[in-house]
Chain A
Amino acid sequence: MTVADVVKKLDLKVFSGEKGLDRQVTGGYVSDLLSDVMGNADSGQIWITLQTHKNVMAIASLKDLAAVILVTDHKPEANTAEQSNEEGIPVLGTSLDTFEITGKLYDLING
């Protein structure tokens, strides 16, 4: 499954990093604690969070994550979107809350 497939199936907004829409998705990780993501997320995963600042992209890039989904209509800060474009790691958005979007992503990947 690619990030583009996830965007389509879960009706996500694409804020930035369009050139990474063909990245392969292997799973997901859900956390708003950055050291938790750093220590426990794996490459190819989609990270679901409400953090919108640039360090999110630093971590997504260092961990080779597939994409980031911002929940409850959060938007990336300008320099977050900028780095997302540079790295080709998409920042996506949904109006759903963490529980709802996580359930949907889980079903999509493991269902």
Chain B
Amino acid sequence: MDNQMHFEYNVEGGNFTRAGYASSQIKKILKQLNVDIAIIKRTVVATYEAEVNVVAHAYSGTIYVDIDTEAVKIRLVDEGPGIPDIDQAMEEGYSTASSQVREMGFGAGMGLPNMKKNADKLEISSEVDKGTTVEITMFLNEKG
């Protein structure tokens, strides 16, 4: 891993059949790079939850992945309704998911708490009626 690597994936709002596709691609890349399995597992949880949130709550989004020797940075930028109160959204059990989405077993309000638990660093910014940006950082060596 001498160079920096960059990958991008599109995420379609509402398309649950493709949900998790980008996360599985990212998992494959990290495996090929021989990243520590414990780090891959945490990255997968955080990335999947962020990806599904774009599918479930936003209209469309792009995932930007940057990998260097120190860290994996995964930035999800979506166009969507945004999150009016991020602290409230972070609370376990808080969800605005539609009943249709809940029937599928989403909407437990556990996604953001899962991201918080598994990411080394989690940054969320959001603008109502514009969209949300989530940045997940995973450190590859000693925690920075």
Interface hits, B11-37 → A, CB 8 Å: 16-17, 19-21, 23-24, 27
Contacts of B27 in A (CB 8 A): 62
In the assembly, what is the distance between CA of A99 and CA of B102, in Å? 22
Q: Assess whether A23 is interfacial by the CB under 8 Å rule.
A: no
Interface 9-residue window, one of B43-51, B68-76, B77-85, B124-132: B43-51
Q: Assess whether A79 is interfacial by the CB under 8 Å rule.
A: yes
CB nearest neighbor in B for A61: B24
Please classify the interface of chain A as helix (H, G, I), strand (E, B), loop, or mixed, using the class held by over half of its residues.
Answer: helix
Contacts of B105 in A (CB 8 A): 32-34, 49, 51, 55
Interface 9-residue window, one of B57-65, B110-118, B136-144: B110-118
Q: Assess whether B108 is interfacial by the CB under 8 Å rule.
A: yes
- With A33-B105, A62-B24, A62-B27 known as contacts, the answer to whether A38 contacts B16 (CB < 8 A) is no
- With A58-B20, A62-B23, A62-B24 known as contacts, the answer to whether A38 contacts B45 (CB < 8 A) is yes
Q: Assess whether A74 is interfacial by the CB under 8 Å rule.
A: no
- With A39-B117, A54-B17, A55-B19 known as contacts, the answer to whether A62 contacts B48 (CB < 8 A) is yes
Contacts of B9 in A (CB 8 A): none
Are A79 and B17 in touch, CB under 8 angstroms? yes
Closest Cβ of chain B: how far from A101's Cβ, in Å?
18
